[in-house]
């Protein structure tokens, strides 16, 4: 298998990290890989808000956990079922989930909130591609990551203003990066989803 395929196959969502900082040089390299993602009409809509201070990460994590739990009753059963399976698993841990010291960012040394302007209907797809580039670049450099959809709840957190995100932008995703302290098993992939015409 070539190095690119190896990196793709070896990437996992990692949720336990060593207490080891990631250098600014590496962060910059990852962001640059993110910038190389394709984007609709080449709008490159992403902006990156980097958080590395441990106390800020813990505070955001707690507040996001609270906001996410609060939003469940408003989601309606249909949307809850639609939500990402792992997020549901996390939410189903209920109170335990909230009691964890860092329930959303799992002790990662770097959290990147990725935003785009609110009026861009393609931004979600663009940011997904950008984030995948970041995660694969991280893997190729010996780091691991996890995309965190819960990150968008930062917009409902008390401390949101700390990020200084302009009102015209919205947080679409967060991604956590660090040196892994767990080796998750690969989730088996569904393969009955191909239709040749
Ligand atoms: C858009 C998106 C949002 C996600 N949000 C979360 C999240 O909020 N919390 C989390 O722990 N994992 C989250 N994940 C990670 C998925 O749970 C994970 O990718 C999935 O279980 C497959 O595992 P793998 O990445 O190891 O193959 C998210 C993944 C994606 C693509």
Distance CA(43)–CA(28), nearest Å, equals: 20
Where does the pLDDT of residue 5 fall: very low under 50, low under 70, confident under 90, or very high at 90 and above? very high
- Sign (positive/negative) of CA torsion 173, 182, 189, 87? negative
Report residue 191 CA to chain centroid gap. 25
pLDDT in tens, 41-63: 999 999 999 999 999 999 999 99
**Ligand 1 atom at shortest distance from the alpha carbon of 151:** 8
Q: Does 194 map to a domain?
A: no
How many Cβ atoms sit within 10 Å of the Cβ of residue 79?
11
User: Residue 14 CA: which ligand 1 atom is closest?
Assistant: 26
153 lines ligand 1 (CB under 6 A): no
Q: Output the CA 86–ligand 1 centroid distance in Å.
A: 6
Residue 85 structural domain = 3-178
Question: Would 159 be classed as within a structural domain?
Answer: yes
Q: For the segment 66-112, what is each residue's pLDDT rounded down to a tens digit?
A: 998 888 777 666 665 555 555 555 555 556 676 788 899 999 999 99
Residue 132 in domain: yes
The rounded distance, in Å, linking the Cα atoms of 150 and 75 is 14
Residue 156 structure tokens:
């409902």
The H or E element containing residue 113 is strand 110-117
Report CA(149)–ligand 1 centroid distance (Å).
7
Q: Which residues pair with 146 in a beta bridge?
A: 176
In a domain, 15, yes or no: yes
DSSP 17: B
Look at residue 146 in the predicted model and tell me its pLDDT.
98
Measured from the Cα of 12, ligand 1's closest atom is 26
Q: Which helix (H) or strand (E) holds 145?
A: strand 144-148
Lowest mean pLDDT among 89-98, 109-118, 188-197: 89-98
CATH number at 148 reads: 3.40.109.10
The helix, strand and coil proportions of the chain, stated in percent and rounded to the nearest 5, come to 50, 15, 35
Beta carbon of 8 within 6 Å of any ligand 1 atom: no
Q: Is residue 185 part of a domain?
A: no
Whole-number average pLDDT of the chain: 92
Q: Domain for residue 195, yes or no?
A: no
Region 7-25 average pLDDT: 98
- Domain contains 45: yes
Q: How open is the CA angle 45-168-129, to the nearest 5 degrees?
A: 25
Q: How many domains, in total, are found in the chain?
A: 1
Asked if residue 192 is part of any domain, the answer here is no
Is any ligand 1 atom within 6 A of the Cβ of residue 147? yes
Six-digit token pair at 139? 């893997």
- Structural tokens at position 168: 């015209």
Burial class (CB in 10 A: 0-12, 13-18, 19+), 142: exposed
């Amino acid at each position: 298998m070539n190095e690119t395929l190896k990196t793709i196959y070896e990437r996992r969502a990692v949720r336990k990290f060593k207490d080891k900082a990631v250098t600014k040089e590496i962060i910059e390299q990852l962001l640059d890989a993110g910038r190389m993602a394709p984007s609709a009409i080449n709008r490159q809509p992403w902006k990156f808000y980097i958080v590395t201070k441990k106390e800020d990460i813990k505070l955001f994590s707690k507040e996001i956990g609270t906001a996410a739990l609060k939003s469940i009753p408003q989601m309606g059963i249909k949307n809850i079922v639609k939500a990402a399976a792992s997020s549901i698993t996390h939410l189903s841990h209920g109170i335990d989930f909230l009691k964890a010291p860092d329930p959303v960012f799992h002790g990662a040394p770097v959290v990147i909130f990725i935003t785009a302007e609110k009026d861009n209907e393609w931004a979600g797809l663009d940011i997904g591609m950008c984030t995948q580039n970041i995660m694969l670049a991280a893997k190729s450099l010996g780091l691991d990551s996890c995309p965190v959809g819960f990150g968008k709840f930062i917009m409902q957190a008390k401390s949101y203003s700390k990020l200084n995100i302009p009102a015209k932008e919205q947080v679409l995703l967060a991604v956590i990066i660090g040196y892994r302290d767990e080796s998750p098993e690969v989730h088996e992939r569904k393969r009955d989803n191909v239709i040749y015409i």
